[in-house]
Structure 1
């Protein structure tokens, strides 16, 4: 596992770190993860290729196991792809779901169970992805994002553990943190993000790519194991 590093690992990780520390960047959770040293970054070749999918899935399994062993808030795993840097929002969305499908298929192939605290159906309001038995929420970043908060020079998939949101809810901190992020995002973009919804109100799959989708949008992901 992790027997080699992408040649530009340090450069791409440094770019993401610098992006997050910018004052205008609205996600206080990402800022907290970076400050605590709990933001892991894995550089990869190409969002349009399956070349690094096994290596990415290895890291997801390790990340999930480490969280179970020592739960902690504000832990995220960011996969930064060097290419492609010329994208439309629609193409980024297609490629993001291609990678999600491939990674999920590997989870099934490797005999990992789906986190039973969430649904595997992307049309279900309680949907989340699952890798290594842990539920994940994905945030996509790319150069052509219409929302400024989602713009980054390289296509990126940030995997956030769903359990962390439940812990924040239990501590009574979730709503305050969510509102703080939305206020900061509104200050950056001039409007509130219409795609944001609480878990259980609408499927979070609609939020992953960052593209504004209509009510008829159908998620291309299909879980191929037994949930």
Structure 2
């Protein structure tokens, strides 16, 4: 690792850990991952550049493989970018989806199958992304997010395993955890997030960037692999 990259990794990892550890941060799942030492952070250059896309995809492949080898709840893979820190919500959303498209294209290029438990169609209520054969949900964070829970000093993409949500549902813990997060978010923001929806009721793609979008919004993502699941 180059010296500058090692320095950035230490700095951005510490920033992310401190952010999640803050009492006001509402996501109890991320707090559990931090406590367990399973909140993995990868420091990258710019969210509006493809410079680190191969490194990110490598990290996602390793993350997915490690989960299959040793399944367990509350694991997150946070990609924290050094900049730019002046993106408004539409510009951040555009950059986030460009990274997602590039990462998905690399997944296809590397011969990875799409997780058959979810849909590759972003208009489908059962849509999720897939990397290394595992479905992922993405949470975008950045300095100018309108929702306090999505506000962080650096542009960030947090990748969460879809299978973890299904495990929580099977254990009867999902609704309790979801309500706890929404109550904590409401306490910080003064209102509940209108974009949150359960998987299977509307496409989760609408939630990724954190920006409030209306019914006219169309996801820019197109899966370039085989449509067969």
Shorter-chain TM range is: over 0.9
Q: Tell me the distance in 2 between the aligned counterparts of 1:177 and 1:102.
A: 32
Q: What does residue range 60-79 of structure 1 map to in structure 2 within 5 Å? A: 60-79=60-79
Q: Secondary structure of the residue that 2:209 maps to in structure 1? A: coil
Match of 1:130 in 2: 130
Dislocated runs of 4+, deviation >4 Å: none
Match of 2:57 in 1: 57
Match of 2:216 in 1: 216
Q: Tell me the distance in 1 between the aligned counterparts of 2:80 and 2:53.
A: 12
Q: Tell me the distance in 2 between the aligned counterparts of 1:149 and 1:113.
A: 33
Alignment deviations for residues 127-177 of structure 1 (CA, whole Å, 9 cap, x no partner): 000000000000000000000000001000000000000000000000000
Match of 2:186 in 1: 186
Residue 34 in structure 1 maps to residue 37 in structure 2: no
Q: What does residue range 1-227 of structure 1 map to in structure 2 within 5 Å? A: 6-7=5-6, 8-227=8-227
Alignment deviations for residues 9-47 of structure 1 (CA, whole Å, 9 cap, x no partner): 000000010011111100000000000000000000000
Instruction: Figure out how many residues of one structure are paired with residues of the other and give that number.
Output: 225
Q: Secondary structure of the residue that 1:215 maps to in structure 2? A: coil
TM-score by length of 1: 0.98
1:4 Cα deviation after fit: 6.0
Q: Tell me the distance in 2 between the aligned counterparts of 1:21 and 1:55.
A: 26
Q: Secondary structure of the residue that 2:58 maps to in structure 1? A: helix
Q: Which runs of 5+ in 1 are unaligned?
A: none
Q: Tell me the distance in 2 between the aligned counterparts of 1:158 and 1:4.
A: 24
Q: Tell me the distance in 1 between the aligned counterparts of 2:57 and 2:18.
A: 26
1:125 Cα deviation after fit: 0.2
Alpha-carbon RMSD across the aligned residues, in angstroms, is 0.9
Q: Secondary structure of the residue that 2:201 maps to in structure 1? A: coil
Q: Secondary structure of the residue that 2:130 maps to in structure 1? A: strand
TM-score by length of 2: 0.97
Q: Secondary structure of the residue that 1:139 maps to in structure 2? A: strand
